[in-house]
Structure 1
Amino acid sequence: MFTRTRTRGRRPLLRTAATPRRARVAALVAVAALTATACSGNSSTSAGSGAKVVDELVQAAKPADDSLLPSGSTAAAIRKKGTLVVGGTQTAALFSLLNPTTGKVEGFDAALSRLLAKYIIGKDSVKRVNVTTATREALLKNHSVDTVFATYTITPKREKQVAFAGPYYADGLAIQVKKSTSGIDTLSDLAGKTVVTQSASTAASAVKKEAPTAKVQLFETNTECLQALRQGRAEAYVLDQGILAGNASSNPDVKVLAKTFSQEPYGIGLPLDATDFKKFVNDWLKKIAADGTWTKVWKATVGTQVPGPAPTPPTIG
């Protein structure tokens, strides 16, 4: 993520009362279909204006009151350090993608990490460390990073090693194929086929469960998986639908299928021993959901490619 790994499916993809899950899914697939628009100047304009909105939100954000960072707390130590060390990726479109023109990492996850830094430190001071699905837990455990924003799905197994704040976003596993591909609609249709996904992702086990004869190949990053699919070295790519939709928005030769096959609640990864920090970050998430900041960030990032109203933020905890 930065890189993404996740799972999705049974519950609504960040829906509002008036926007059911199927409508959200249809919107994502529509994005994949509108390849001409996605690759046009209009898409670039939307991305540019979205980045400007995020900059304005970060600039206007107020830092936490001193009373919320008592002496000895994790947040107080980060404020004293003056930098929030964030683990993530630079290859997940819409969530955390390096803009080669500006040199900045942009997207939903990247924006939230900047806002959290501003809330803790009082300034937009983020040090980014690239992580993969295979290295996230280790970097949190040895405190090489303060947080991980990387479309990081919360699972019972991961919760034994990571303290998750959130969820702050919800998604589901989906299938990406080349535009010309037909005959693949569900995970079971992947039987006997070569499928790529990210290592340590929940997607690999989901594919093997539904299609035991599938030949699953693992790569460290979204970019590697996408390249394997586009080059014909794989017949399908399974990962979070939001990430796959980001791929389709800038690669007209691939498409995302409508169905999702899991529930993928994204959490902010924190060191397991930083129990006070989990409460602090959860309180911050509730704050930005209540004051509308979360919705504004969604509209400026994911919402530049997914039409329709912004979804309701997931319930924290």
Structure 2
Amino acid sequence: MSSLFLSLASQSFAICLVGMSLLTSPFALSRDLKTIQAQGQLRVAVKDNLIPLGFRGSDGQLQGLEIEIAQRLSQELLGRPDGLILVPVLNQERIGAVLDGRVDIAIARVTMTPVRSRVVAFSIPYYRDGTALITQNPAIQTSLDITNQAIAVLDNSSTIPLIRNRLPQARLIGVPSYEAARSLLERGDAIAFAADASVLSGWVQKHPQYRLLTPTLSVEPLCIVLPKGLQYDELRQRINQILTRWQAEGWLKERAVHWGLP
């Protein structure tokens, strides 16, 4: 009797584990290409506060380079303009929204990294971002013009080791926010601010007294995030084919220039 009880208990435990696995599986709600097309709907995680990639215009409507990519991608995949659902997300939600199936893909300024590639899949890049500098000092034309002067950087950002490596003579001043960096620059306590070129492009558009120094100090590919798994390979391959064609046609470059990206 005890052995039968143990056997039944083991089976119940195994069934329970399977149920928990299905409930907690990161891809339990994710849809493959055929399902997306059959339902006529593409859900895309985007930013709504990041000029010029994804932000709300004066009319409250979402716009920017990544918004245009989502719109055209939806048209290509679904063959209709009204099947796109844009889901604004915070930075810390971009990967999770794909993992838990809230969205089918994310186009939300996500850089491809080895760590992220362990849990999600990536398309080929649609834009190559990187660390850049902005300044309002007319004497600074390139990053090489900065020697022992102060550069503002966000606290605990990956920009810090990069600047130390590329501009070892510069003095770094940590700031908690972009507004704090701007205050530092306005007071003359720093000659430049280092951050992502895409974000700084939006800064320059809002504050034209600043200039973005080129070229960037690093290259970071921005890619579309997809669920990881064989069932999603068709979706990833189709997106890659579309992006490759857009690159060959020059559409991606033209739209990046249109939105003021370097």
Normalising by structure 2, what TM-score?
A: 0.69
Structure 1 residue 258: Cα displacement: 2.7
Cα distance, 1:231–1:166 mapped onto 2, change above 3 Å: same
Give the match for residue 277 of structure 1.
Answer: 235
Cα distance, 1:298–1:92 mapped onto 2, change above 3 Å: farther
> Which sections of structure 2, spanning at least 5 residues, go unmatched?
1-29
1:134-153 map, 5 Å: 134-153=92-111
- Equivalent pair of 2:45/2:105 in contact (CA under 8 Å): yes
- Say whether residues 1:104 and 2:56 are aligned partners: no
The root-mean-square deviation of aligned C-alpha atoms, in Å, is 3.5
Give the match for residue 231 of structure 1.
Answer: 183
- The match for 2:76 among 90, 99, 119 is 119
Structure 1 residue 149: Cα displacement: 1.2
Report the Cα distance in structure 2 between the residues aligned to 1:286 and 1:155, rounded to whole angstroms: 21
Cα distance, 1:192–1:161 mapped onto 2, change above 3 Å: farther
Structure 1 residue 300: Cα displacement: 4.3
- Equivalent pair of 1:93/1:246 in contact (CA under 8 Å): yes
Report the Cα distance in structure 1 between the residues aligned to 2:100 and 2:195, rounded to whole angstroms: 28
- Equivalent pair of 1:153/1:264 in contact (CA under 8 Å): yes
- The match for 1:82 among 40, 47, 53 is 40
Give the match for residue 221 of structure 2.
Answer: 265
Q: Which amino acid aligns with 1:250?
A: K
Cα distance, 1:82–1:149 mapped onto 2, change above 3 Å: same
Identity percentage of aligned residues: 22
Cα distance, 1:254–1:166 mapped onto 2, change above 3 Å: same
Report the secondary structure of 1:150's partner residue: coil
Cα distance, 1:279–1:242 mapped onto 2, change above 3 Å: same
Query: Per-residue displacement from partner, 1:4-47 (whole Å, max 9, x unpaired)?
Result: xxxxxxxxxxxxxxxxxxxxxxxxxxxxxxxxxxxxxxxxxxxx
Give the match for residue 155 of structure 1.
Answer: 113
- The match for 1:303 among 236, 250, 258 is 258
- Equivalent pair of 1:95/1:302 in contact (CA under 8 Å): no
Normalising by structure 1, what TM-score?
A: 0.58
Report the Cα distance in structure 2 between the residues aligned to 1:192 and 1:282, rounded to whole angstroms: 42
Cα distance, 1:287–1:252 mapped onto 2, change above 3 Å: closer
Give the match for residue 25 of structure 1.
Answer: none
